[in-house]
Structures are given as C-alpha cells and as structure tokens.
C-alpha cells in the first residue's frame, strides 16, 4: 500500500516536471504560424516536421548549425583546458607542501562563492582591451580554469592513498610523473564528473557569450536562441518551440550519457 502510494506520488511528480517538455514538442509540430492549440487538439493530424528543417537550414540570418558548432567548439575547448589546468592545481593543493598553500586554496574557494557579481564588467573591459571581443578567445580563455574544478579534483585526489605515490617515488618517478601516471589515471570518475559539470555550465552559459560576442557568426546556441526569440517570438510559436527543442536535444543526450557522473559530482561538491 505504502509502495503504491510512493509510486503514484513519484509518477505524478514526473508528470508535473515533464509536462511542459511534452507539450513543447507537440506545439513545435503544429503547422508553422498556427496558433497554440487547445489541449484537445494538441496532437497534430499531420506533424509538421518541416518546422525543424525550417529552423535548421532555411534561416539565412540565423545559422543554427553555425551556432551549434560554436557551442560545441567552445565547450570542448573549455572542458579540456579545465581538465588540464585545474587538475594540475588540484594535484598541487592535494599532494604537495609549500608555503601559503592553504591560504591560496581559500582564495580559490572565496572567488568561487563571491566573485560572480563584480567581475563581469572588468573582464569584459579586459577582453575588449586585448582585442578579443567577438572571437573564440573571448569565449574560451576566461573559462579554461575553474575554481570549482580545482575544488572538486582536490577532493578526489586526496582520497587516493599516498602509498601509491611512495611506491612510484621509489621507482624514481618525480611529481609530474606521479600526477600524470598515477593520480590522473586513478581519477577517471572524478575527471568525468568535472567534465560533465563544466560541459553543462559552459554550454548553457548565456550571460558571458551575450556580452562578449555581437556578430551572428560568433553566437552560441544559447544566445542564438534568444536572438531567434526576438525576431520570431510571438509571431511564429511552432517554429520558436521547434528551435527550443533543437537546443534542448544535445543537452538531453549529453545528460543521459553523463548522468551517473553528474549526480555524483554534486555529492562530492557538497561534502566539505
């Protein structure tokens, strides 16, 4: 009885959370420029799959495939950069002793919590003075290291027993070799978690790409979608919903693949 009640509650909640998505897909399949149907007529007689083709390839002023490429290229670059730079730092903080180590680590943590509201303007001015505005450098370089990844990987590295280092050291390995040959290979799950986190954070970032790019060819999917909304919003609902679905699909696919690491990482991050 209690079991049944739990399942009923969980199903109701799932319906509540998924309903907007399902509804969105049905609206996106209405004929282009049709009004939003009532719930009774939600399932279209002839699904207008052509909406998706319209959005993807027949918008000369909105190159969706280009947006997609930009998002993918920027996200992959940032994720790889973060994995390398942040894991190096995490090894330093987790495994080595040097003066001021803990203090510097606390500066990393503090910036993670509190730098958000005040850094956007100066970073914009900095990127502008470097002549990077509207280039990939502007989208990638400010993100290639993250205090959050440093924090997450430090936790993971600390949980690897030090005896392994000692064994490698006896074989004549230096710290860099231990980092690359011992600690990194043993941290696959943590590195995957880190990648999953930064992947979603960068792919769905809206604010920074909105500020740092202005030509259509440099826009990411997120910004592209908001541009799409300002040019088609309230005039062509099915098309706008189709665009929204298209933006969601890669994220959903990525989530289903990385889901395991993703939820794990939140837990690592929360445990002090």
Partner 1 sequence: MKKGKLGYLFIAPATLHLLVFAIFPMAFSVFLSFYKWNLLTSERTFLGLANYAYAFGDPQFWNAMWNSTKYALLSVPLGMAAGLLVAILVNQKLKGVTIFRTLYYIPAISSGVAISILWIYVYLPETGLINSVLGLLHINNKTDFLKNESMAMYALVFMSIWVGLGPRMVLFLSGLIGIPPSLYEAAELDGAGKLRSFWNVTLPMLAPTTFFVMVTSTIGALQVFTPVYIMTQGGPNETTDMVGYHIYVEAWSKFLIGIASAKSFVLLAAIVAISIFQFRILKNQLEGYSTT
For 110, which DSSP code? H
Q: How far is the CB of 143 from partner 1 (least distance, A)?
A: 9
> If we measure between CA atoms, which residue out of 212, 190, 214, 209 comes closest to residue 262?
190
Nearer to partner 1, 45 or 255 (CB): 255
Rounded distance, CA 240 to CA 24, Å?
A: 10
Residue 50 CB, nearest distance to partner 1 (Å)? 20
Neighbouring C-beta atoms of residue 39, cutoff 10 Å: 8
The answer for residues whose C-beta is within 8 angstroms of residue 145's C-beta and 6 or more apart is: 81, 82, 85, 86, 89
How is residue 240 written in tokens?
A: 């706008």
Burial zone of 74 (CB within 10 Å; 0-12 exposed, 13-18 middle, 19+ buried)? buried
Residue 78 CB, shortest distance to partner 1, in Å, is 12
Q: Which is nearer to partner 1, 116 or 131 (CB)?
A: 116
Nearer to partner 1, 116 or 162 (CB): 116
Distance in Å, CB of 219 to partner 1, minimum:
12
Q: How far is the CB of 168 from partner 1 (least distance, A)?
A: 15
Rg for the chain, CA atoms, rounded: 23
Nearest-5° Cα angle at 193, 245 to 198: 55
- C-beta of 126 vs 164, nearer to partner 1: 126
């Amino acid at each position: 009885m209690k079991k049944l009640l739990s399942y009923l509650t969980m199903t109701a909640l799932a319906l509540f959370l998924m309903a907007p998505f399902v509804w969105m897909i049905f609206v996106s399949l209405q004929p282009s420029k049709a009004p939003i149907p009532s719930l009774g007529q939600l399932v279209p007689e002839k699904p207008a799959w052509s909406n998706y083709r319209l959005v993807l390839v027949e918008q000369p002023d909105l190159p969706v495939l280009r947006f997609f490429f930009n998002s993918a290229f920027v996200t992959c670059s940032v994720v790889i950069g973060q994995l390398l730079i942040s894991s190096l730092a995490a090894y330093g903080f987790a495994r080595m002793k040097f003066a001021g180590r803990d203090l510097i680590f606390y500066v990393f943590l503090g910036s993670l919590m509190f730098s958000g509201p005040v850094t956007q303007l100066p970073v914009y001015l900095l990127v502008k003075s470097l002549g990077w505005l509207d280039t990939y450098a502007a989208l990638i370089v400010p993100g290639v290291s993250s205090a959050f990844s440093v924090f997450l990987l430090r936790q993971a590295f600390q949980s690897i027993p030090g005896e392994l280092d000692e064994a490698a050291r006896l074989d004549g390995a230096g710290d860099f070799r231990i980092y690359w040959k011992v600690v990194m290979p043993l941290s696959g799950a943590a590195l995957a978690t880190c990648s999953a986190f930064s992947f979603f954070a960068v792919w769905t970032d809206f604010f920074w790409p909105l500020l740092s790019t202005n030509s259509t060819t440099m826009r990411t999917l997120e910004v592209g979608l908001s541009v799409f909304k300002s040019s088609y919003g309230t005039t062509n609902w099915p098309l706008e919903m189709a665009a929204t679905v298209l933006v969601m699909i890669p994220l959903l696919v990525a989530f289903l693949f990385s889901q395991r690491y993703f939820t794990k990482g939140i837990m690592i991050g929360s445990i002090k």
